[in-house]
């Protein structure tokens, strides 16, 4: 059973990285309730709008988000409905962390 090519690994890790920053994770979770524009997300995260914008671009480039301009705003939304499942996996992985007293 061969491991993935380096390219697949890079791609996967880009997706994972896109969700591995606290602000970005918060954004993704919030978008589970539906699309939001940048200024909404700026409120949520509490950083400068340019910072939020950059987080959003990164997530979009990784394929995690889509965006659509309507009127004055740009609305971001999850590109895939599987984030909930993803987070359940993360939480399961997270609680493996109790018994690691060794070495």
Distance, in Å, from the CA atom of 25 to the CA atom of 29, rounded to the nearest integer, reads 6
Least separation, in Å, of the C-beta of 37 and DNA?
Answer: 3
Q: Are 11 and 17 in contact (CB under 8 A)?
A: no
Contacts of 32 (CB under 8 A, 6+ apart): 78, 83, 84
Give me 3's structure tokens. Answer: 């491991």
Residues from 46 through 65 that contact a copy of itself (CB under 8 A)? 60-65
Among 53, 83, 86, 87, binds DNA (CB under 7 A): 53
Cα separation, 61 vs 15, whole angstroms: 9
Footprint on this chain of a copy of itself (rule: CB under 8 A): 1, 3-4, 6, 9-13, 15-17, 19-22, 25-26, 29-30, 33, 60-69, 74, 78-80, 82-83, 85-87, 89-100, 102-103
Footprint on this chain of DNA (rule: CB under 7 A): 17, 21, 23, 37-39, 42, 47-51, 53-58, 67, 69, 71-74, 103
């Amino acid at each position: 059973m061969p491991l993935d090519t380096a390219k697949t690994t890079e791609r996967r890790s880009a997706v994972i990285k896109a969700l591995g920053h606290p602000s970005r994770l918060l954004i993704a979770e919030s978008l589970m309730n539906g699309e939001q524009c940048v200024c909404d997300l700026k409120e949520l995260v509490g950083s400068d709008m340019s910072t939020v914008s950059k987080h959003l671009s990164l997530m979009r480039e990784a394929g995690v988000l889509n965006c659509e301009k309507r009127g004055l705003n740009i609305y971001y939304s999850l590109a895939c409905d599987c984030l909930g499942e993803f987070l359940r996996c993360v939480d399961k992985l997270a609680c493996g962390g109790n018994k690691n007293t060794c070495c």
